[in-house]
C-alpha cells in the first residue's frame, strides 16, 4: 500500500513539474468560410442581443443563464452580464468594433479569471472568412495549466465549431445587397422647397419637372443673395404606382432671408438607413428596393419621408457612371 501511495505521489509530482513547462496562456482560434458579405455576419457578433442566436455557451445555459444588458448593446461599450447556478457569473464588454472587419471583447469571469475574445472578418472571393479567437492567462499554477490543456481548450474548440456553424447559417440566410447600405445618425437640414404631385411612370417627365423646380429655387437664392449649404435633395412624402408627391429642396442656413413664399423648413434629423446609388437616375428604383428589403430584413420602422441627395452635379459631370446619389430613409 505504501508503494502504491508513493507511486501516486511520484506521478503527481511529475505532473506538477511538467505543468510548470506547459503554456501559461491558452489561445484558441478557428475559421469558417461564409458565402455572404461580411456585414451579414458582423451584425450578429456586434449586437450582443443577437448572441443568443448563435453562441454555444448561451445555448448550453439557456435555461439557467439570467442576462442583464447595459444601455449600450452593440458596438464599443456594449455589454451584458450573466448569472446562473450552472453558468456562474460573468460579464462581456465590446472594447473595439470596426464595421465588417473585427470585434474585440473582454470576458470577466469574476473570481474565475479574465479572457479576451476576437472576431475577424476577411474578404474571401465573393464571401467572407470569419475567424473566432479566445485567449486567457492561466498563471503559474501548474494544475490550471493542465486544466487549460485537457479541459478548457477542447471545450473551446467544441464551442467554436457550434458557434461558427450557427453564424454561417444566419449570415447566408440574409439577403445580399449589391449597393452599399448603412445605418447612420444625421443632423437636421434647413431647406427651402417647392412640391408637386405627378405620375412616377415617366422618367423623362420627372426629370423635366425637377429641372423646372430646381431652376425656380436657384433663381430665388440668386436674387436673395443666399448660398446653398449642401447638395440638392428631393423628398417623397407619398408614393404609389400611380402617383407620387415630390418635394425638390435646396439646403440653406436656418436664418436665411427669403421671400415669404419660400419658407425655410427643416428635416427631423436622427437615424436613417442610407444607400449609395451609383450611375444613372433611371436605375435608382433598384436601389430603393434594396433599401426597402434591408429595412424589412432588420425589422426597422420608417418614421418619415425618404429623400434623395444628389451629390454629383449632372451639369458638371457628364459621365452618368460617375454620378453619386445618397438615398436616405428615416427610421425610428
Q: What angle do CA 236, 331, 121 make, to 5 degrees?
A: 120
190 and 319 belong to one structural domain = yes
Q: Mind listing the pLDDT tens digit for each residue in 295-305?
A: 998 889 999 99
Q: Are strands 114-124 and 88-98 parallel, antiparallel or unpaired?
A: unpaired
234 and 250 belong to one structural domain = yes
Residue-number span of the structural domain to which 240 is assigned: 181-330
Report whether pLDDT(16) > 60. no
197 and 160 belong to one structural domain = no
> In the predicted model, what is the mean pLDDT of the chain?
87
Q: Which residue has the higher pLDDT, 145 or 320?
A: 320
- CATH number of the domain bearing residue 60: 3.30.530.20
- CATH number of the domain bearing residue 197: 3.20.80.10
Q: Find out whether 200 and 239 touch, Cβ atoms under 8 Å.
A: yes
225 and 161 belong to one structural domain = no
pLDDT bin (cut points 50, 70, 90) of residue 21 is very low
Q: Identify the sign of the CA torsion 245, 250, 252, 255.
A: negative
Report whether pLDDT(13) > 50. no
Q: Mind listing the pLDDT tens digit for each residue in 58-106?
A: 998 888 999 999 999 999 999 999 999 988 899 999 999 999 999 999 9
Provide, for the chain, the percentages of residues in helix, strand and coil under a 3-state DSSP scheme, each rounded to the nearest 5: 35, 35, 30
Strand partners, 184: 272
85 and 159 belong to one structural domain = yes
Sequence-distant (6+) residues with CB within 8 A of 156 are: 26, 28, 134
81 and 213 belong to one structural domain = no
Residue where one domain finishes, among candidates 141, 173, 205: 173
Q: Find out whether 296 and 308 touch, Cβ atoms under 8 Å.
A: no
Q: How many domains does the chain have?
A: 2
pLDDT value for 72: 93
pLDDT bin (cut points 50, 70, 90) of residue 112 is low
pLDDT value for 151: 54
Closest CA to 132 of 3, 42, 257, 2: 42
pLDDT value for 298: 84
195 and 62 belong to one structural domain = no
Closest CA to 33 of 156, 134, 125: 125
Amino acid at each position: 500500500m505504501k508503494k502504491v501511495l508513493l507511486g501516486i505521489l511520484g506521478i503527481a509530482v511529475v505532473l506538477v513539474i511538467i505543468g510548470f513547462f506547459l503554456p501559461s496562456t491558452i489561445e484558441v482560434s478557428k475559421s469558417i468560410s461564409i458565402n455572404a458579405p461580411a456585414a451579414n455576419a458582423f451584425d450578429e457578433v456586434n449586437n450582443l442581443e443577437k448572441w443568443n442566436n448563435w453562441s454555444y455557451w448561451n445555448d448550453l445555459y439557456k435555461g439557467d443563464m439570467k442576462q442583464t444588458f447595459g444601455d449600450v448593446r452593440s458596438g464599443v461599450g456594449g455589454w451584458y452580464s450573466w448569472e446562473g447556478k450552472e453558468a456562474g457569473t460573468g460579464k462581456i464588454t465590446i472594447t473595439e468594433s470596426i464595421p465588417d472587419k473585427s470585434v474585440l471583447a473582454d470576458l470577466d469571469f469574476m473570481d474565475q479569471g479574465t479572457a479576451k475574445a476576437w472576431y475577424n472578418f476577411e474578404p474571401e472571393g465573393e464571401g467572407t472568412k470569419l475567424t473566432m479567437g479566445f485567449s486567457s492567462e492561466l498563471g503559474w499554477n501548474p494544475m490550471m495549466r493542465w486544466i487549460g490543456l485537457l479541459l478548457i481548450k477542447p471545450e473551446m474548440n467544441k464551442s467554436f465549431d457550434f458557434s461558427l456553424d450557427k453564424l454561417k447559417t444566419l449570415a447566408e440566410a440574409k439577403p445580399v445587397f449589391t449597393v452599399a447600405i448603412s445605418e447612420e445618425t444625421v443632423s437636421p437640414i434647413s431647406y427651402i422647397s417647392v412640391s408637386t404631385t405627378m405620375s412616377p411612370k415617366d422618367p423623362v417627365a420627372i426629370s423635366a419637372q425637377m429641372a423646372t423646380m430646381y431652376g425656380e429655387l436657384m433663381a430665388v437664392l440668386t436674387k436673395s443673395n443666399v448660398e446653398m449649404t449642401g447638395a440638392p435633395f428631393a423628398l417623397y412624402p407619398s408614393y404609389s404606382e400611380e402617383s407620387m408627391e415630390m418635394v425638390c429642396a435646396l439646403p440653406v442656413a436656418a436664418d436665411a432671408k427669403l421671400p415669404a413664399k419660400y419658407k425655410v423648413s427643416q428635416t427631423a434629423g436622427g437615424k436613417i438607413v442610407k444607400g449609395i446609388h451609383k450611375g444613372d437616375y433611371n436605375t435608382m428604383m433598384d436601389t430603393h428596393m434594396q433599401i426597402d428589403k434591408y429595412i424589412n430584413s432588420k425589422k426597422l420602422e420608417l418614421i418619415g419621408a425618404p429623400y434623395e441627395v444628389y451629390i454629383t452635379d449632372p451639369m458638371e459631370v457628364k459621365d452618368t457612371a460617375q454620378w453619386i446619389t445618397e438615398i436616405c430613409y428615416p427610421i425610428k
